[in-house]
Structure 1
Amino acid sequence: MSEFKENIATFARQFVPSYRFIRTHESTLGNSHELQTELKPHSIKVLTWNIAKNNFEKTWFKDFYRILRQHQPDLIFCQEVRMGVGVEQIIGFNKLSWAYAPNFIDTHHQTYSGILTAANISPLSKKAIVTKHYEPLVNTPKVSLITEYSLSHQHKTLLTINSHLINFVDLSKFKTQLQEIELALSTHHGPIIFAGDFNTWNRQRAILLDKAVTKLGLQSVEFAPHESKKIKRFLLSPPLDYIFYRGLTERSASAKVLDEINSSDHKPLLAEFSYVDM
């Protein structure tokens, strides 16, 4: 691993100007549309997708609108989303309420990169958690985005966290990010959805993730074997993308991986939940 990190650092010095990627002072950006006031607890459709910064490409727009039309997700968690600096809207999400947490600015393209959570309703609150450690090459942190939503006719709220976990660092830094997320979620006593790209490309990372979600009482959405094999991996590694949940009921046979979508090297993951207040 140390030799790999040294090679990354050498590449960074040779090919990436130190001034190109800069950290941003904005913690969250957003846009609100009051299309409805509460999530309907009998059916909460969830999409998570690392779009690999392709949301300025025509092929991505075609794929994204196809997903919206066919599957009508209520909650959308996207990682690696680009947004123009000084632009108040992200094309494709203009009819949704969205919250965006950037982790750096690409000065060459004048774009943010970050994670985005979108829904048919506005969040009650939103908060970004920025890692204290930085990835090599771009020397920027990773970010998670917490949003909270009302549930129809329920006293409790749904807490969601959209995460992209840190990469190309030693295991202790990966563990630190997970501990920060654990702390943020530990005070919420209602239902939770935790989704994103967890960069679990080896067994050690996957074990740490499993310990963290188990501690929080979360369980993973179960994909059928023929669906699971479509999820992004590195060679024979565990999956990189997950949807975890607590306090919800997973709709049987709802979990799908959209293998026909090719505008990113990650496939979109879909799941559906219901909620009954006990």
Structure 2
Amino acid sequence: MLKRLLVVIVLILLFAGGGTYYSFDIPEQAQVTATVQGKQYSIQCLDAKPKATIDRNGKLQVTVWNIYKQQRDNWQSALETFSADSDLVLIQEAKLSESFSNYLAQSPWQVTMANAFAFLDTPAGVMNLSRQEAAQTCAYLAVEPWLRIPKSALLARYPLSNGQQLTVVNLHGINFAWGLEEYRAQFEALSEQLNEAQGPILLAGDFNTWREERMAVVNYFIAQLGLHEATLEKDLRTRVLGWPLDHLFYRGMVLETAKAPATDASDHHPIIARFRLTK
């Protein structure tokens, strides 16, 4: 039944409204988009020399949220609330609309984005908002096998005050695929970089784990990396068929608090977690 529903959804998206599909602009390769000293850069990996560490006195707060392309009118107030005390905000389904661009331009955030596609000349993908810039940020793309429209991921490295480096992956998982081959390959594309990480790791985002077999792929992947899932005190994560779609996994830090509060500003509820560095 679910497989039949997915096929119907894909057909509607591809063919409804005539040539809607052809309004998509899909990049040939993954690119990081960032603003550095007022200039726009789009490259596969962006290197920088951070002036400060991402944590504050050994504490790090992270917000993970699928912002639903800012389709709800209250997205900005919700984002400001959820990110108020955060050092790092990992957003999925960010749409670089004029209103979002204006908000970002007036905010204190360092902004990097992995553009999955552009619809009517407006880029969309995953986005990192950070209090301090990353030492390196790289973009990854994984093509939806049915829609042929990519999902994106960002892998970023931030210096920490204990002398280590935090490796962060912001991932939007492939959705429209009944088989597991493409879904598994999306995680495997990041495994080499994560296996080489010496310091703490954060792996988070909208994983689209809407059935047991997908969750098994994720569990295998995190077990190989020695990651733990953040235990949520208040777990109101969006679920499909009983399975949560959004996750936050970590390694090499102490989890102090984590919650997933409700919101009507998106079709996903955020995850907000606070960590403490080890000496």
The answer for the alignment partner of 1:10 in structure 2 is: 11
Going by fraction, where is strand more abundant, 1 or 2?
2
- Could you tell me how far 1:249 is from its partner in structure 2? 0.6
Aligned pair in 2 of structure 1 residues 167, 239: CA closer, same or farther (>3 Å)? Answer: same
- Could you tell me how far 1:240 is from its partner in structure 2? 0.7
Rounded to whole Å, the distance in 1 between the matches of 2:7 and 2:274 is 43
In the alignment, is the contact (CA less than 8 A) between 2:125 and 2:152 conserved in 1?
yes
In the alignment, is the contact (CA less than 8 A) between 1:41 and 1:274 conserved in 2?
no
Whichever residue aligns with residue 198 of structure 1, its letter is F
Q: TM-score, normalised by structure 1?
A: 0.86
Rounded to whole Å, the distance in 1 between the matches of 2:151 and 2:102 is 20
Whether 1:21 and 2:24 are equivalent positions in the alignment is: yes
RMSD (Å), alpha carbons: 2.4
Whichever residue aligns with residue 215 of structure 1, its letter is Q
In the alignment, is the contact (CA less than 8 A) between 1:32 and 1:96 conserved in 2?
no
Aligned pair in 2 of structure 1 residues 68, 35: CA closer, same or farther (>3 Å)? Answer: farther
The answer for the alignment partner of 1:60 in structure 2 is: 75
Whichever residue aligns with residue 82 of structure 2, its letter is I
Q: Secondary structure at the match of 1:158?
A: strand
Q: Secondary structure at the match of 1:113?
A: strand
Aligned pair in 2 of structure 1 residues 90, 186: CA closer, same or farther (>3 Å)? Answer: farther
- Could you tell me how far 1:136 is from its partner in structure 2? 2.8
Aligned pair in 2 of structure 1 residues 247, 4: CA closer, same or farther (>3 Å)? Answer: same
The answer for the alignment partner of 1:203 in structure 2 is: 212
Whichever residue aligns with residue 61 of structure 2, its letter is K
- Could you tell me how far 1:98 is from its partner in structure 2? 1.5
Rounded to whole Å, the distance in 2 between the matches of 1:36 and 1:118 is 16
Q: Which runs of 5+ in 1 are unaligned?
A: none
Rounded to whole Å, the distance in 1 between the matches of 2:259 and 2:10 is 38
Rounded to whole Å, the distance in 1 between the matches of 2:227 and 2:145 is 27
Q: Secondary structure at the match of 2:150?
A: coil
Q: Secondary structure at the match of 2:91?
A: strand
Q: Secondary structure at the match of 1:53?
A: helix
The answer for the alignment partner of 2:239 in structure 1 is: 233
Aligned pair in 2 of structure 1 residues 115, 200: CA closer, same or farther (>3 Å)? Answer: same
Q: Secondary structure at the match of 1:265?
A: coil
Whichever residue aligns with residue 132 of structure 2, its letter is I
Aligned pair in 2 of structure 1 residues 185, 3: CA closer, same or farther (>3 Å)? Answer: same
Whether 1:146 and 2:155 are equivalent positions in the alignment is: yes
- Could you tell me how far 1:159 is from its partner in structure 2? 0.7
Deviations 1:81-131 (A, max 9, x none): 01149x994624631111111100102xx2111001111101100001111
Write out aligned runs for 1:214-229 (5 A): 214-224=223-233, 227-228=234-235
- 1:175 aligned to 169, 181, 184, which one? 184
In the alignment, is the contact (CA less than 8 A) between 1:250 and 1:273 conserved in 2?
yes
- Could you tell me how far 1:24 is from its partner in structure 2? 2.4
Rounded to whole Å, the distance in 2 between the matches of 1:2 and 1:88 is 35
Whether 1:91 and 2:103 are equivalent positions in the alignment is: yes
In the alignment, is the contact (CA less than 8 A) between 1:79 and 1:114 conserved in 2?
yes
Q: How many percent of aligned residue pairs carry the same amino acid?
A: 25
Rounded to whole Å, the distance in 2 between the matches of 1:203 and 1:2 is 14
Aligned pair in 2 of structure 1 residues 32, 207: CA closer, same or farther (>3 Å)? Answer: same
Rounded to whole Å, the distance in 1 between the matches of 2:57 and 2:226 is 20
Q: Which runs of 5+ in 2 are unaligned?
A: 38-48
- Could you tell me how far 1:135 is from its partner in structure 2? 4.5
The answer for the alignment partner of 2:168 in structure 1 is: 160
Rounded to whole Å, the distance in 2 between the matches of 1:58 and 1:3 is 32
Q: Secondary structure at the match of 1:255?
A: strand
Whichever residue aligns with residue 200 of structure 2, its letter is P
The answer for the alignment partner of 2:59 in structure 1 is: 43
Aligned pair in 2 of structure 1 residues 41, 274: CA closer, same or farther (>3 Å)? Answer: farther
Aligned residues: 261
The answer for the alignment partner of 2:88 in structure 1 is: 75
Whichever residue aligns with residue 146 of structure 2, its letter is P
Q: TM-score, normalised by structure 2?
A: 0.85
Whether 1:101 and 2:124 are equivalent positions in the alignment is: no
In the alignment, is the contact (CA less than 8 A) between 1:36 and 1:120 conserved in 2?
no
The answer for the alignment partner of 1:126 in structure 2 is: 137
Deviations 1:25-68 (A, max 9, x none): 5601113589961123521001000000017x541111122233
